[in-house]
Structure 1
Amino acid sequence: MIELIKSWYRAKFSDPNSVTLLLMLLALAALLYFFGTFIIPVLVAIVIAYLLDWPVTRLQRVVPSRQMATNLVMLIFVGVMLALMFGIVPVLWAQTSNLVQEAPTMIEEGKYYLLHLPDNYPNLITAEQVQNLVGAVETKLFEFGQQVVSASLTSIKDVVAWLIYLVLVPLLVFFMLKDKSQLTAGLLQLVPKERRLINQVWEEMDHQIMNYIRGKVFEITIVGISSFVAFTVLDLRYAALLGTLVGFSVLIPFIGAAVVTLPVAAVALFQFGLAPEFWTVLAVYGVIQALDGNVLVPLLFSEAVDLNPVYIIVAVLFFGGLWGFWGVFFAIPLASLVKALLNAWSTQHQEYLASEAE
């Protein structure tokens, strides 16, 4: 057993490049674990910088300098963000407020429908089962309401932090884009010279991360707008809010679509009942989800995602549990990183076996 461990250690860590890669991973993990909440603005800025680096690089070909390209792209980006903030956010807030006010009525109608299920289907369900189900749902709703109130009270103190982020993040993005070469050179000076495996992992991940972030933004936009247009044509209430929820649901592969189905179905049921319009809304929503999963995702992420769905779900659950929203957002890139690391160490192991054979 000891010899087996020694052989494994020599195969994986006899090369200084392997030790450098391991130490780098441990340092990054410790940084995120102990100081993750303090560097959130930096992480957000890195995400946005990855998203905007592509247009800056393309625009740099037709303008005199990278700084001018950065200025133009940042002006467009800030303009779009302001337009969204003052144009769409008030609509979403109004629809959310109206939905919250109507939620008790919707819950009561749902409760009434459940309580009458034994009368309509006496062979399938009993009154006792319905009472237990209603009690469990009411308990969960009460707990959820308490969590919402508690979160809203504790989040008041974070308003100042968010205002600071609104200033810091655009500044960080601007300097990351403008001084990309200098920042990259400075980071390379901090990395030891034995960084062959680090370079191998970085080259494999850099392109994937950029494609993933850009593709995810496009997917959110396309799915959200398509859902909003479909719900508006079908005259479904809260079309903007539900379309936004459907758009952001793609952040959580497989799970997000299932969760967002509940509010879409609840609003449609409350508005139309079990009429044909209700089933039409569900059918159209199902078509949107099918097109997203079978057409849009392969088109946008063909180069960024090469993972089994089981690994993706495990990554979402694991990294989401560690880092919340950002863990979910980066679940697929982080899973790809784990895959790249395993590939790097596997390559190192094969090289070791070849050297032993010689």
Structure 2
Amino acid sequence: MVRILRGLADKYFSDDEAVILLLLLIIGTLAIIYLGAMLAPVIAAVIVAFILQGLVAKLLKLGVPQGVAVIGVFLLFLGILVGFLFGLLPLVWTQVTALAGEAPRILRELQIYIEVLPEEYPNLVSIDALQAVYQEVTFEAARMTQWLVSFSLSSIPDLVAVMIYMVLLPILVFFFLKDRAVLLGALGKLLPHQRPLMLHIWEEVNLQCANYVRGKAVEILIVGGSTYIAFKLFGVPYAALLSFLVGLSVVIPYIGAAVVTVPVAIIALVAFGWGSHFIWVMVIYGIIQALDGNVLVPLLFSEVNNLHPVVIIIAVLFFGGIWGLWGVFFAIPLATMLKAIFSAWPVKGELPPTTETGQH
């Protein structure tokens, strides 16, 4: 065992810089675990600035002065944030509360459709199993309705915290964009002066994660927006809420699409019944999902190393178990970052990519 551990240490940690990098990763992980709630606005601002930096860089390449590029991109972000807070979010919340009020009626109508299944497919569906599923769904719907009704004065402290975050977030994003070089230079002074390994890994992580995060932001807007337009044209109830969920579902490949299909199908079934209208809604929804997976994703993520479906599921389970909903939401970006780090990690006996090209 000792010989095996020594071999692994010699293979992966023979470089002093690799040991320092490992310590930095451990410290960063512990800081996020224990200080994540406290530093939530800073972490969110870093992610947003990371997304917007790509647009700033493109404007700089076109000859736009840095100050103008930063202010222009920041105003664009501010406009999107204001539109989300005062346009989309109230609409989604109104439809959530309306859906909660309609939940008993929807469940009663859904039960009518469900009770027919044992008669038509007695070998596949049993009445007892359907009753158990229906009781569980009813219980969860009642609990959600109760939570929405009790969302009153007890939630004011949370609302105040959210409002503070909404003020801090734009301020932090602006300074992260404006003083990016200064902040990175200050962090660089804390690291060894000669750090080719860290620079190489940073370039790999920056390329992979930047392309992924920016691509996902565009994918959410396109998929959510096209779903909203389609559902509004077909008269689907709660179109804003459903399209919001569909847009967010692309963050979790495979799992997200499978989960969000259930409420889409239930609401369309209750609204239109078994008929051509319901079938057309589900067909259009399926076309949007197919175009997303087969056209949009390859186009947006051509430079990103794809993760195996098994790795995606493990990442969702692992990070979701650690951080709950936020862990599920950020599972794929974190897995992409870890894969980029492992891909660029030096292994004794292998030449780094920069050595092959003669660059340093």
Same fold by TM-score, threshold 0.5 exceeded? Answer: yes
Q: Distance in 2 between matches of 1:152 and 1:291?
A: 41
Per the TM alignment, residue 162 of structure 1 is displaced from its structure 2 partner at its CA by 1.0
Q: Distance in 1 between matches of 2:90 and 2:147?
A: 24
Counterpart in 2 of 1:23? 23
Q: Distance in 2 between matches of 1:98 and 1:319?
A: 32
Counterpart in 1 of 2:289? 289
**Does the 8 A contact of 1:63 with 1:69 survive in 2?**
no
User: Bigger shift: 110-119 or 307-316?
Assistant: 110-119
Q: Distance in 2 between matches of 1:106 and 1:92?
A: 19
Q: 1:332 to 1:136 in 2, by over 3 A?
A: closer
2:227 matches 1:227: yes
Q: 1:149 to 1:38 in 2, by over 3 A?
A: farther
Per the TM alignment, residue 218 of structure 1 is displaced from its structure 2 partner at its CA by 0.7
* Residues 68-83 of structure 1 mapped to structure 2, 5 A cutoff: 68-83=68-83
Secondary structure of residue in 2 paired with 1:347: coil
* Residues 266-277 of structure 1 mapped to structure 2, 5 A cutoff: 266-277=266-277
Q: Distance in 2 between matches of 1:295 and 1:280?
A: 21
Counterpart in 1 of 2:215? 215
Secondary structure of residue in 1 paired with 2:348: helix
Q: Distance in 2 between matches of 1:129 and 1:172?
A: 52
TM-score (norm 1): 0.89
* Residues 152-191 of structure 1 mapped to structure 2, 5 A cutoff: 155-191=155-191
TM-score (norm 2): 0.88
Q: 1:230 to 1:170 in 2, by over 3 A?
A: same
Q: Distance in 2 between matches of 1:202 and 1:3?
A: 32
Q: 1:210 to 1:8 in 2, by over 3 A?
A: closer
Counterpart in 2 of 1:278? 278
Unpaired runs of 5+ residues, structure 1, are 353-358
State the AA in 1 paired with 2:3.
E
* Residues 1-358 of structure 1 mapped to structure 2, 5 A cutoff: 1-61=1-61, 65-122=65-122, 124-145=124-145, 155-193=155-193, 195-345=195-345, 347-348=347-348, 350=350
**Does the 8 A contact of 1:20 with 1:194 survive in 2?**
no
State the AA in 2 paired with 1:93.
W
Instruction: Report how many residues are paired.
Output: 352
Per the TM alignment, residue 198 of structure 1 is displaced from its structure 2 partner at its CA by 2.0
Unpaired runs of 5+ residues, structure 2, are 353-360
Per the TM alignment, residue 22 of structure 1 is displaced from its structure 2 partner at its CA by 1.1
Q: Distance in 2 between matches of 1:44 and 1:228?
A: 26
Q: Distance in 1 between matches of 2:339 and 2:349?
A: 15
Q: 1:116 to 1:46 in 2, by over 3 A?
A: same
Per the TM alignment, residue 303 of structure 1 is displaced from its structure 2 partner at its CA by 0.9
Secondary structure of residue in 2 paired with 1:297: helix
Counterpart in 2 of 1:355? none
CA RMSD of aligned residues (A): 2.5
**Does the 8 A contact of 2:209 with 2:337 survive in 1?**
no
Q: Distance in 1 between matches of 2:127 and 2:309?
A: 40
